[in-house]
Amino acid sequence: MLRGLYKKALAGEIREFTGVSDPYEEPLNPEVIVKTDSESIEESANRIIAALEARGLLRREQLVAV
């Protein structure tokens, strides 16, 4: 469903597409910060999962290994 959206945005078929024709606006107070330049994918994922667990939105046993 979402496939090809960036291609369409780059071709000008989608207007005001974040990161292409509409600038990305960094949040003032992000709930989670992942340091993709200095941590592994697993560390970033665990940071996100921990934030979701802390808010009661996810239980680790709900996760399915891929």
Q: How many residues does the chain have?
A: 66
Mean pLDDT of the chain: 88
Question: Are the C-beta atoms of residues 45 and 37 closer than 8 Å to each other?
Answer: no
Two structure tokens written together for 25: 């606006």
User: What average pLDDT does this structure show over 28-46?
Assistant: 95
> Which letter does DSSP use for residue 55 in this model?
T
Query: Does the pTM exceed 0.85?
Result: no
% of residues, the chain, pLDDT over 70: 94
